[in-house]
Amino acid sequence: MASCWWRWRWRWRRGCSWRPAARSPGPNSADHAALSAPRAAAAAATTVAVARAQMSYCNLMKSLTSAFPNMYRVSWLHHTTLGAYSCSKTQSGEKYSDPFKLGWRDLKGLYEDIRKELFISTAELKEMSEYYFDGKGKAFRPIIVVLMARACNIHHNNSRNVQASQRAIALIAEMIHTASLVHDDVIDDASSRRGKHTVNKIWGEKKAVLAGDLILSAASIALARIGNTTVISILTQVIEDLVRGEFLQLGSKENENERFAHYLEKTFKKTASLIANSCKAVSVLGCPDPAVHEIAYQYGKNVGIAFQLIDDVLDFTSCSDQMGKPTSADLKLGLATGPVLFACQQFPEMNAMIMRRFSSPGDVDRARQYVLQSDGVQQTTYLAQRYCHEAVREISKLRPSPEREALIQLSEIVLTRDK
């Protein structure tokens, strides 16, 4: 059964070497006998790969749950897979559409409203601050926030409206995220982002830092206007986590188990904390039940970690044009992400490269080849699947609604995206 589940889940990985073979011919096929031997060999190889991935995953989760019992608890796979949740109707019979279309109902004028928050008299600073708010992104975080707001409101009192304060959280989340991108690009000396030059490359590092600070200050003012001290505290935690996550990224661990826990903690703080706490904030505004707040937080946390895990996979499997930024960027920055850490289990010689942060000539190319020769990409994707399954398990505790089903669908979109 594990082998069947594994093959079912890998169908979406286009063009990858671990893609399963086509369905076996029927018993009346003339080619059936000729194909049965290689098919059996392929099945045996798949079983071995699955067993190795699951064993590595089990060992990893034992070390993580002992080190971080509250943050990295991932439940075992239930009998129902992610795909089983992706039905076209909720239990109440209501149809739902593409989650992005559903979310954009409450986000019309999103970027115009953000630019209003950034009302600045200095022309250059205004242009810098508005540079990424061009409306060309998918607004992944605001979409999750407004969908979560509606799902929680419906769960609480069947309210079909998003409160103005909840929509404001979506704007604030996008502003905090964008400010972090501006600052990250300065730290990483990045030259491209979303398919265009970065702020620091156009205006310089000093001005880019100030532009990021300005966006954060505008987000803080918008947050203060909401007037809810609990929500202010929740979203203030995000900014602290972003800073702590950046510090974690600057360091590394010598012990292999500690290294992976270090990586996942950094991933939570730099990526997932914003999604988790934004989801929690809108749940607090829409529902007084602490259990709902925890559901919203856990959904956001697990989807956020999975999102970054897939991002780390795409750094090895996607091309620069798809990503809108150079690939193998993490290796060039000296960062050991999930695919590298898993590959290290098969190629221990990578340990020395990790500790010197791939700084010696040829390290980046060799490390990339080791990753592609190993099952590091597959195991990282498998780990992302587990986080997404946990997200689905949590959000499924809410009352059925189109928004709840859209959030479930978003967890699959996180896994199948290619940029």
Is residue 376 assigned to a domain?
yes
For 297, phi and psi rounded to 5 degrees? -65, -45
Q: Own/partner pairs for 32-39, CB < 8 Å, 24+ apart?
A: none
Is residue 330 assigned to a domain?
yes
Q: What gap in Å lies between CA 332 and CA 330, rounded to an integer?
A: 5
C-alpha pair distances (Å), 95 with each of 150, 151, 160, 337: 15, 14, 15, 39
Is residue 360 assigned to a domain?
yes
Q: What gap in Å lies between CA 195 and CA 198, rounded to an integer?
A: 9
String of DSSP letters for 130-188: HTT-SS-S--HHHHHHHHHHHHHHHHHH------HHHHHHHHHHHHHHHHHHHHHHHHH
Q: What is the CA radius of gyration of the chain?
A: 22
Q: What gap in Å lies between CA 67 and CA 402, rounded to an integer?
A: 37
Q: What gap in Å lies between CA 186 and CA 406, rounded to an integer?
A: 35
Is residue 291 assigned to a domain?
yes
The torsion defined by the Cα of 319, 372, 23 and 306, in degrees rounded to 10, comes to: -70
3-state secondary structure of 282: helix
Is residue 211 assigned to a domain?
yes
String of DSSP letters for 187-232: HHT--EETTEE-HHHHH-HHHHHHHHHHHHHHHHHHHHHH--HHHH
Pairing type for strands 192-193 and 196-197 reads antiparallel
Q: What is the predicted pLDDT for the residue at 125?
A: 87
Contact criterion met (CB below 8 Å) for 158 and 150: no
Contact criterion met (CB below 8 Å) for 205 and 199: no
Contact criterion met (CB below 8 Å) for 114 and 135: no
Is residue 340 assigned to a domain?
yes
CATH of the domain at 383: 1.10.600.10
The two structure tokens encoding residue 289? 């039940």
Q: What gap in Å lies between CA 386 and CA 300, rounded to an integer?
A: 14
C-alpha pair distances (Å), 100 with each of 141, 150, 165, 282, 408: 11, 14, 20, 18, 12
Q: How many domains does the chain have?
A: 1
Contacts of 9 (CB under 8 A, 6+ apart): 81, 82, 385
Q: What is the pLDDT along the chain (419 residues), one digit of tens a residue?
A: 333 333 333 333 333 333 333 333 333 333 333 334 444 444 444 444 444 444 444 455 444 444 444 434 333 333 233 333 333 344 444 445 689 999 999 999 999 999 999 988 788 988 999 898 988 778 999 999 999 999 999 999 999 899 999 999 999 999 999 999 999 999 999 998 878 999 999 999 999 999 999 999 999 999 999 999 999 999 999 999 999 999 999 887 777 778 999 999 999 999 999 999 999 999 999 999 999 999 999 999 999 999 999 999 999 998 755 655 566 789 999 999 999 999 999 999 999 999 999 999 999 999 999 999 999 999 999 999 999 999 999 999 999 999 999 999 999 999 999 87
Q: What is the predicted pLDDT for the residue at 396?
A: 98
C-alpha pair distances (Å), 398 with each of 100, 148, 211, 296, 298: 20, 10, 39, 9, 13
Q: How many residues does the chain have?
A: 419
Q: Own/partner pairs for 83-89, CB < 8 Å, 24+ apart?
A: 83/8, 83/412, 85/392, 85/396, 85/405, 85/408, 86/408, 86/409, 86/412, 87/405
Q: What is the predicted pLDDT for the residue at 323?
A: 54
User: What's CA 366's distance to the chain center, in Å?
Assistant: 27
Q: What is the predicted pLDDT for the residue at 245?
A: 96
349 burial level (CB within 10 Å; 0-12, 13-18, 19+): exposed
Q: What gap in Å lies between CA 107 and CA 104, rounded to an integer?
A: 5
Is residue 232 assigned to a domain?
yes
Comparing CA positions, the residue from 252, 286, 289, 26 lying closest to residue 168 is: 286
* Phi-psi sector, 87: left (phi>0), alpha (psi -120 to 50), beta: beta
405 burial level (CB within 10 Å; 0-12, 13-18, 19+): buried
Q: What is the predicted pLDDT for the residue at 303?
A: 98
Q: What is the predicted pLDDT for the residue at 25?
A: 36
Strand partners, 197: 192
Is residue 1 assigned to a domain?
no
Q: Which domain holds residue 308?
A: 97-416
